[in-house]
Chains A and B, each alone.
Chain A
Amino acid sequence: MKLTLKIWRQPSQNVKGKFETYSLDNVSEHMSFLEMLDVLNEKLSFEQKVPIAFEHDCREGICGTCSLVINGQPHGPLQGTTTCQLHMRNFKDGETIVIEPYRASAFPLLKDLSVDRGALDRIIQAGGFISVSTGQAQDANAIPIEKDVASHAFDAATCIGCGACVAACPNSSAMLFTSAKVAHLALLPQGKVEAQKRVLNMVRQMDLENFGNCSNITACEAECPKGISVSNIALMNREFLSASFSSNDAN
């Protein structure tokens, strides 16, 4: 395959960025998208040019490090797939591919295609946990949990924290990310105890980080590589409302 790549280059946050055009020959359809970028970087290195900075790690779709907006879509054209699992067989010979970083004010740009997603960590730090210290646990089978409930919680817990939901949303909202953690923990008996405090604190942090609001566009679910459902947002809204009325210990 022969490809034309239009890639966003920006040395740092304070320097203006622009698209650069590269052409790449001999791309195998069995390559992953990131391996294609590896080949381009190796080529740039040989030409003594600065390679393109992009983030990646596990390359098996689970760590959530890789990102990229490919032809306008976070993680590219294939549904339920991270960029690292996307293979070149999904593109056509001669195609022009546009590659950009995630764009959201809560995700400051670092370099080229890398952005800072630390805001998502801070939302978890605000309350995305169960307050149990090591050694305090009772026997694992002491509380039976209905299989369907556990399975529902699991579906929410499969979020990989990649931020594609934010990148997909015209409002740059992090509602899908936040609600997935709220739902995972609120559905389980172990997490119910501090559910009210949790949802209030996490939503407050989400707002502090400058994420936008949800206006039910649901692009987040469409682009989520793990298929996290927007029904989690509905669950979070319910949790938030009831907590707002009844709780007085938010902080």
Chain B
Amino acid sequence: MDNLNLNGNVPSGDLADKWTKYRSTLPLVAPNNKLKIEIIVVGTGLAGASAAATLGELGYLVKCYTFHDSPRRAHSIAAQGGINAAKNYRNDGDSVFRLFYDTIKGGDYRSREANVYRLAEVSTSIIDQAVAQGVPFAREYGGLLDNRSFGGVQVSRTFYARGQTGQQLLLGAYQSLSRQIALGNVKMFTRHEMIELVLKDGKARGIIARNLLNGELEKHGAHAVVLATGGYGNVFYLSTNAMNCNVTSAMRAVAKGAFMANPCFTQIHPTCIPQMGEYQSKLTLMSESLRNDGRVWVPAKREDAKAIRDGVKTALDIPEADRDYFLERRYPAFGNLVPRDVASRAAKGVCDEGHGIVPTGLGVYLDFSAAIERYGKSKANILGLSNTSNAKVIELGEKVIEEKYGNLFEMYEKISGENPYKFPMKIYPAVHYTMGGLWVDYNLMTNVPGLFSIGESNFSDHGANRLGASALMQGLADGYFVLPYTIGTFLSEDISTPKLDTNAPEFTVAADLAKQRIDKLFAIKGKQSAESFHRRLGKIIWEYCGMSRTAEGLISARQQVRALRDEFYADLYLPGVANDLNPELEKALRVSDFIDLGEIMVVDALDRNESCGGHFREEFQTPDGEALRRDDEFAYVSAWEFKGADQDPVLHKEMLHFDNVELKTRSYK
């Protein structure tokens, strides 16, 4: 393996001044030249929509692509809890530095200092921008913005819009994008999926997009290509991602030389509705904000847990003394608000020991009864009902909880068929977010000149673990406030490049390549559906590269993924034809890319002989079972160069330097 040192192109100077100084000295593209420069943006989630809108406002000719029927559908829309910003409106000691520090520490010291500081710095502008767009954030009676607290931090800096923050922020970005579409600054291509990247003279100059309605392979050229295509959580098959989330555009870029960074850093979210059956197509998240008021527990006695699993007892039959509030017990300082990776592993631990409370054994309780009682009493006090009945207190308390989390409780009840006001919720960890992604430098450009990656699709800001309410922040920071500036560093050198001619041989070759891939899949004429291969891939990755990993398991997983790939290309059945609306073909193309990514993930997890954040290697733990980080050897970003499915990927390292924080063992005790 190779050990080339990658350079993140971080500007020099003090951490706090870097971005301001850099931004003021970046090369600019003059307004008259912007009108001649085309930019392709793939994806219309928070990052893509905000970038396309902002680039359009600046005067570039933007072409924007989504496989959805409308740019408003991207999965950012499902984010529930909130968005962080260092506004310090609570006067509780928050600051840009503290948000930076929390994010670096939360990421277990595996992210780039300068990027994270910049993220914290622009966070405040995002809230201003969103409010100006009409995003209806929660407010207090005085009319000012409300905040709540989130896991892994001790200040209240999360802005929220009921349990639908992602929806409201995405609609804000979508509306800005719609305005630019109407003005003609952005040309929108819906139901178009990028299936190939086009390079010319080593620079990203276009894409091959499949028109999903008629199967036509279209050639689109531009001076630069921005991928805002989200994460790869669906490599696990079951995840909280939307059904159509995929890694294809990122892997098409990887096939053309872009590096995939830290792919083994995936986030398992502690509060999701447990799996019910084999047919299940996805898992549903219950916002982390619920941990503000919910207490996580399992029966302390294994026989009670078994009785619940067998349907003989319910949660209500377990007396207080026989409940193990294991997060509060193990982590007294943060309690139920420990970061996601810590909470998830703890839940897995108690279930592995036989305390799980759903038939599969994989589930714990999230209980609101204490909060309902507390809020009920406080409300009764306000109403002057000091001697009211217990039933009245519960009724008042349930109303407060409904106001805070009503839509989440409703969603839970629809899916599970159980009333969470009366019975504690049943939850279990599920894959939710991927910190890894395309390697980018400080300018958010990949190692392929002219190819940029923003939002969840890049690796840059969350290290080995993302804190709650930081994904929305990063997507919008990249799209509104970072990329529109930094893309100028590349484009300013390119002002005399004429409009790209899509009849050039590079485009024809790429389109032929895409056609060959599709023809190859149809020619297999096997017996198994793409879906069934995807499900099997997911099981391998979840089992061996999920919440805890071992060298032995990972070695076996790699062989299993390779065997699955062989079987896929030997026995796939693909119905329908290529030149038609064909969801099965879309799925098959995506699954083929998930398989390649799955292998790189496993290789990465095997290389990283330490435990950090979402990556827990059983060989590397402290005597009391906490993650053992090894900063002396592994304080680097691993960026993998793909050499083809039959070859070993090549490792490139970007060494991480920490000049402003001291590397500490993360402790939430």
**Chain A contact residues, CB within 8 Å of chain B:** 28, 30-32, 34-35, 38-39, 42, 44-46, 48-51, 53, 55-65, 78, 80-81, 85, 87, 89, 110-111, 114, 116-118, 120-121, 124-126, 128-141, 143-147, 150-151, 153-154, 157-158, 160-161, 184-185, 188, 190-191
**Interchain CB contact (< 8 A) of B144 among A50, A135, A141:** A141
- B121-129, B346-354, B430-438: which lies at the A interface? B121-129
Residue B179 is within 8 A (CB to CB) of chain A in the complex: yes
**Interchain CB contact (< 8 A) of B171 among A49, A61, A110, A157:** A157
**Interchain CB contact (< 8 A) of A28 among B54, B140, B182, B279:** B279
The answer on a CB contact under 8 Å between B277 and A28 is: yes
Which residues of B, 521-551, contact A by the 8 Å Cβ criterion?
A: 527, 529, 531-532
Category for how many chain B residues contact A: 35 or more
Interface string of B560-591 (1 = CB under 8 A from A): 00000000000001011000110110000000
Nearest-CB distance from A79 to chain B (Å)?
A: 11
Interface string of B112-141 (1 = CB under 8 A from A): 000000000000010111111110111111
Residue B87 is within 8 A (CB to CB) of chain A in the complex: yes
Residue B161 is within 8 A (CB to CB) of chain A in the complex: yes
The answer on a CB contact under 8 Å between A53 and B480 is: no
Between A and B, 29 residue pairs with Cβ closer than 8 Å are A31-B277, A32-B415, A34-B281, A45-B575, A50-B575, A50-B576, A55-B69, A58-B75, A60-B78, A60-B284, A62-B78, A63-B74, A65-B68, A85-B411, A87-B415, A116-B69, A121-B70, A132-B133, A132-B176, A134-B53, A134-B481, A135-B481, A137-B125, A140-B87, A150-B139, A151-B136, A157-B136, A185-B134, A190-B131
Nearest-CB distance from B73 to chain A (Å)?
A: 5
Chain B: CB-nearest residue to A117:
B69
**Interchain CB contact (< 8 A) of A121 among B72, B140, B171:** B72
Expressed in whole angstroms, the Cα–Cα distance for A35 and B238 within the complex equals: 13
Which residues of B, 59-85, contact A by the 8 Å Cβ criterion?
A: 68-75, 77-78
Which residues of B, 490-537, contact A by the 8 Å Cβ criterion?
A: 527, 529, 531-532
Residues of A within 8 A of B190 (CB): 118, 121
Chain B: CB-nearest residue to A112:
B581
Known: A38-B281, A144-B142. A57 touches B133 (CB 8 A): no
Q: Besides A46-B529, A57-B73, 12 other CB < 8 A contacts? A: A28-B279, A30-B276, A31-B277, A39-B279, A64-B72, A117-B69, A138-B128, A138-B132, A147-B140, A157-B136, A161-B70, A190-B131
The answer on a CB contact under 8 Å between A85 and B415 is: yes
Nearest-CB distance from B662 to chain A (Å)?
A: 33
Main secondary structure of the interface of A (DSSP, over half): loop
Which residues of B, 164-212, contact A by the 8 Å Cβ criterion?
A: 164, 167-168, 171, 174-176, 178-179, 181-182, 190
Known: A46-B529, A141-B144. A133 touches B280 (CB 8 A): no
Residues of A within 8 A of B379 (CB): none
Nearest-CB distance from B633 to chain A (Å)?
A: 40
Nearest-CB distance from B62 to chain A (Å)?
A: 13
**Interchain CB contact (< 8 A) of A56 among B53, B70, B87, B243:** B243
The answer on a CB contact under 8 Å between A130 and B132 is: yes
Known: A50-B575, A51-B583, A125-B182. A140 touches B128 (CB 8 A): yes
Interface string of B230-258 (1 = CB under 8 A from A): 00000000000011100000000000000
The answer on a CB contact under 8 Å between B529 and A30 is: no
Q: Which 8 residue pairs across A and B have the least CB separation, nearest first? A: A144-B143, A129-B175, A137-B132, A137-B128, A154-B136, A140-B131, A125-B182, A58-B242
Expressed in whole angstroms, the Cα–Cα distance for A157 and B166 within the complex equals: 12
Expressed in whole angstroms, the Cα–Cα distance for A89 and B411 within the complex equals: 15
Residue B653 is within 8 A (CB to CB) of chain A in the complex: no
Residues of B within 8 A of A136 (CB): 132
Chain B: CB-nearest residue to A141:
B144
Expressed in whole angstroms, the Cα–Cα distance for A147 and B136 within the complex equals: 10
Residues of B within 8 A of A81 (CB): 414
Residues of B within 8 A of A185 (CB): 134
Known: A129-B178, A146-B143. A63 touches B75 (CB 8 A): yes
The answer on a CB contact under 8 Å between B164 and A62 is: yes
The answer on a CB contact under 8 Å between B71 and A121 is: yes
Residues of A within 8 A of B73 (CB): 57-58, 63-65
Known: A51-B583, A125-B182, A134-B53. A190 touches B70 (CB 8 A): no
Nearest-CB distance from B409 to chain A (Å)?
A: 13
The answer on a CB contact under 8 Å between A125 and B69 is: no
Residues of B within 8 A of A63 (CB): 73-75, 77-78, 242
Residues of A within 8 A of B277 (CB): 28, 30-31
B75, B139, B141: most-surrounded residue (chain A CB, <10 A): B139
Nearest-CB distance from B581 to chain A (Å)?
A: 5
**Interchain CB contact (< 8 A) of A125 among B75, B140, B145, B181:** B181
Expressed in whole angstroms, the Cα–Cα distance for A149 and B410 within the complex equals: 24
Expressed in whole angstroms, the Cα–Cα distance for A34 and B78 within the complex equals: 18
Residues of B within 8 A of A28 (CB): 277, 279
Nearest-CB distance from B153 to chain A (Å)?
A: 20
